[in-house]
Amino acid sequence: MVATQETIDKVKEVSKSYKYGFITNLESEKAPLGLNEDIVRFISQKKKEPQWLLEWRLKAYKKWLTMKQPNWAMVNFPDINFQDIYYYSAPKTKPKLNSLDEVDPELLRTYEKLGIPIKEQEMLAGVAVDYVFDSVSVATTFREKLEKEGIIFCPISEAVQNYPELVKKYIGSVIPIGDNYYAALNSAVFTDGSFVYVPKGVRCPMELSTYFRINEQNSGQFERTLIIVEDDAYVSYLEGCTAPQRDENQLHAAVVELIAMNNSEIKYSTVQNWYPGDKDGKGGIYNFVTKRGNCLGKRSKISWTQVETGSAITWKYPSCILKGDESVGEFYSVAVANNAQQADTGTKMIHIGKNTKSTIISKGISAGKAQNTYRGQVQIQKNALGSRNFTQCDSLLIGDKCGAHTVPYINQYTPSARVEHEATTSKISEDQLFYCLQRGLDTEQATSLIVNGFCKEVMKELPMEFAVEAQKLIGISLEGSVG
Amino acid sequence: MSLLEIRNACLKLDGKDILKGLSLSVNEGEVHAIMGPNGSGKSTLSYMLAGREGYDLDKGEILLEGKSLIEMSADERARSGLFLAFQYPVELPGVGAMSFLREAVNSRRKFLGEKEFDHLGFVKEARKEASKMFVKDEMLKRSVNVGFSGGEKKRFEILQMAMLKPKISILDETDSGLDVDALKIVSEGVNAQRSKDNAIVVITHYQRLLDYIIPDFVHILSDGAIIKSGGPELALEVEKNGYAGLINAS
């Protein structure tokens, strides 16, 4: 059911507070509405993919048809009509863009509105950015710098063309096509995402980053990211997202696979502030993401750091498989749910190798009528001798109509491992607020200060560039929740 | 025009009358002490002046430099120059003491149209004042009041007072929980801020604090109103005869 112009205007009027609410007027080349085998072939053809990938997609699609939507999470949403989505949309621009000069000026204006000063980034930040606009990547900067180190950072569709052996070897190795309903769907219809490869012994000299934007009505965003880091190598990857205001639910079912070899490290940070829906929960993004890292090598390390403040529904468990002996998995998370948002998030740490270690620090903040659930699994297999886990899961409740729930699963099959779980639930006390007010801070400042204090342990894990944006984001997302 | 004027303040809490026609006039350059037994309405008075939610006057008026405070929120009152040193300062986990101080000082400066401090400029200023209050650098790196001893909390309150430079300061039982040494430090900190441009209201149970912070005026608060006022010698009378004697006499 497509929104009428009247509805769009009404929503715009009502939700003025969402800073990033706008729609770019670009002619989009779209696939016909709905999903069937032809659409899968259409996508593969548009991307000029090799036969093996088309077959992989079709296998995933057929698997998806046999699967049922999972419904065990503590989230409620109306049934998704998968036939009412455009699975491919691309702006009409030249297919190959080697420099920013070739980017459509309308697109550049869009990025400016999103607060990304391209010129500035190019000169000062030294961050290589792979802009993803709807389903097609538009520009990649700093290629030469990275190429010198032998680092590959490009859209996944490009990697399929230029490095097919790498993609074929690793895609689906961490999250197989049948892993879950949404991963199967993603495998069939993914349209883009990032591909990163860091060769042996190389420490990537800059933060790698990608921005997402969901535009077209009813177009799902099915990004697929694959990051491979060889022995003794390091990369830090930032994922930051904004999206325009919509009154139709938009599905975001991405898949992220990370592979870390011996002595290597992948740091994956996310700041997410997608449209959360209006005060009554109408509209807003559905963020159903599957993210998993495979610590394949000995002494490898994968850290997930996330600040999630947006989306109507957040359903994701960035996880680590600790296969290599002495490998380390970390999960640092701040999840904010306000008004009518719902979040069921957490992580899975699967200890397989010996002396593996995992750390989970989860901070959930609930306000309004929101429901925030932490769901975590710590699995210590019987050969994971000497493994250790520390989990700290804290909930902060603002107001008396919201909820916080904790669902921990601890499965330990060897007595030589050590698992610690701590959980706290608290409210922002009136005394704390009054203390800040009495020092001249207004309610918004006071709430932001106290909440950021609550999240400090997680915030300090974020790369500097994100930490500032993230702190502001938390403040903005809680506006109106106190006082 | 007095700096702070309370006219016939009446306040009910949970249906019970707590402040029953309290009146007080404080001029610039003055230090007033308010003494009273438990239940006389001392903390209600401080919260009411500071504008805490739930402590609105049912009747009466409060004027700061001639301007009514009644319609002002707690933070507006603070920015206008009203400071409350809490009896039990609350902890703010994860909120760095130094950044908290800076935000507070900058809100006041912004209100006054003065230039706000940047991080480095502020640290310099803060350290200067902190050393006077025997607040170590290490303490400023911690979270506000987290793990602070009773004495440290009170010293930090007075440090905030020194940095905010309020027009009117209300010290709510600042002496509670302090040993003699801490009492001396806190009192010196308060006395160092006495000037002809501001005023201080010291709320206390015990006469002892008033040996160090010598007031110009002493008022006896009983059952929600001021029943007797006098000079510093009134405090000594309380010490000698207790509140009961004074209350029965009035």
Interface predicted TM-score of the whole assembly (ipTM), two decimals: 0.96
Question: A289 pLDDT band (50/70/90 cuts)?
Answer: very high
Half-sphere exposure of A412 toward its Cβ, with a 13 Å CA cutoff? 15
**For A329-361, b where at least 16 C-beta lie within 10 A, e where not — what string?**
bbbbbbbbbbbbbbbbbbbbbbbbbbbbbbbbb
Q: Which of A438, A454, A456 sits opposite B78 (nearest CB)?
A: A438
Q: Measured between CA atoms, how close is B157 to chain A, in angstroms?
A: 11
Rounded distance between C-alpha atoms, residue A21 and residue A275, angstroms: 8
| Residues of chain A with C-beta less than 8 angstroms from the C-beta of B167 | none
Question: What architecture is domain B4-249?
Answer: 3-Layer(aba) Sandwich (3.40)
Rounded distance between C-alpha atoms, residue A61 and residue A41, angstroms: 11
CA quadruple A439, A441, A447, A453: dihedral sign: negative
Question: B106 pLDDT band (50/70/90 cuts)?
Answer: very high
Q: Do B52 and A434 touch (CB under 8 A)?
A: yes
Question: What is the share, in percent, of chain B residues with pLDDT greater than 90?
Answer: 77
**Angle between helix B180-191 and helix B150-164 axes, rounded to 10 deg:** 0
Q: What are the pLDDT digits (tens) for B123-135?
A: 998 999 998 888 8
Question: B250 pLDDT band (50/70/90 cuts)?
Answer: low
Q: Do A437 and B75 touch (CB under 8 A)?
A: yes
CA A203 remoteness from chain centre: 23
CA quadruple A175, A470, A229, A330: dihedral sign: negative
Q: Which residue has the higher pLDDT, A274 or B101?
A: B101
pLDDT reported for residue B11: 96
Closest CA to A49 of A215, A171, A220: A171
pLDDT reported for residue A469: 73
Considering only A232-241, B169-178, B214-223, which range has the smallest mean pLDDT? A232-241
Ordered by start, the domain boundaries in chain B are: 4-249
- Region A39-57: mean pLDDT is 92
| Residues of chain B with C-beta less than 8 angstroms from the C-beta of A439 | 78, 100, 103-104, 107, 160, 164
- B52-56 contacts at long range (C-beta below 8 A, 24 or more positions apart): B52/A434, B53/A430, B53/A434, B54/B13, B55/B11, B55/B13, B56/B11
Residue A310 has pLDDT above 90, yes or no: no
Closest CA to B84 of B184, B175, B172: B172
Six token digits for residue A399: 């107001």
The answer to whether B53 contacts chain A (CB < 8 Å) is: yes
What pTM, to 2 d.p., does this model score? 0.79
User: Which residues neighbour A82 within 8 Å (Cβ) at sequence distance 6 or greater?
Assistant: A34, A35, A185
Q: Which residue has the higher pLDDT, A176 or A141?
A: A176
| Residues of chain A with C-beta less than 8 angstroms from the C-beta of B108 | 440
User: Which chain A residue has the Cα nearest residue B79?
Assistant: A440
Closest CA to A477 of A276, A211, A242: A276
